[in-house]
Structure 1
C-alpha cells in the first residue's frame, strides 16, 4: 500500500468460522466479514433492498442470501445474483495478513 492509504483492522481470521459471516462495527462502518474456504471477503452489512443484515443471512459458497427478503449477492464483487435486490452491495479490498482480516480504508 502507498503512504496515502491506510489499513483498517477488522477482526482476527479465527473469529470468522469457515462458511459463515459475522458483523463488525468498526471505524464508523457496519460490515459483514465472510470466510469462504479460508478466503476472506468484506461487504457492507446492510442489504441494498431493505433493512436486512447480510451477516445474519445464509452463506452458500460465494453467495450471501439476505435474511429479510431473500435477495442474494456475490460476496466477491457485490453483484446481485437473485431478486428482489437490484443494487449491488459495496465491497472492500482485503489486505493480505496472516492472522487478521484487514481492509484498505474506503
Structure 2
C-alpha cells in the first residue's frame, strides 16, 4: 500500500487537529507550533472518543472528554485515565500535500 493524500499542509491550522479516515482507519493529523505534522490514531484508548476534537498543547493531544494527553511523537498517554498508547503513523510532505499510509507506523 502506498501513502494517501489526506489534506494539504495549508489546510492544517497550527496547534489544532484534523480528523481524517484512510482505508477505514481514523487518524488525527496535527500541525504543531513548530510546523511539524504528526499523525496518531484518532480514538482515545480510554473512552472511544475522537482525539481530533481535543486540545493540542506543545507536542501533546488531549482528549476533551476525560483529559488524557497523548504524545504526538510516541502515542503514549502522559496521564490517566488512559494507559494504552495510540498508534503513530509516518507522515510525508510532498509540496503542499500531506501523505499518510495507515499501514506504516512511525519508527519511535
TM-score when normalising by structure 1 = 0.89
1:88 corresponding residue in structure 2: 85
Q: Secondary structure at the match of 1:68?
A: coil
8 A contact 1:63–1:73 mirrored in 2: yes
The unaligned stretches of length 5 or more in structure 1 are none
CA distance in 2, matches of 1:96, 1:53: 24
1:51 CA displacement:
2.1
The structure-2 alpha-carbon separation of the partners of 1:57 and 1:17, relative to structure 1 and needing over 3 Å to count, comes to same
Deviates most, 94-103 or 15-24:
94-103
1:105 CA displacement:
4.4
CA distance in 2, matches of 1:88, 1:20: 20
TM-score when normalising by structure 2 = 0.87
1:54 correspondence with 2:61? no
2:13 pairs with 13, 17, 31, which one? 17
1:52 CA displacement:
1.5
1:50 CA displacement:
0.6
CA distance in 1, matches of 2:23, 2:49: 21
Q: What count of residue pairs does the alignment treat as equivalent?
A: 102
8 A contact 1:6–1:105 mirrored in 2: no
Larger radius of gyration between Structure 1 and Structure 2: 1
1:78 correspondence with 2:58? no
The 4+ residue runs of structure 1 with deviation greater than 2 A are none
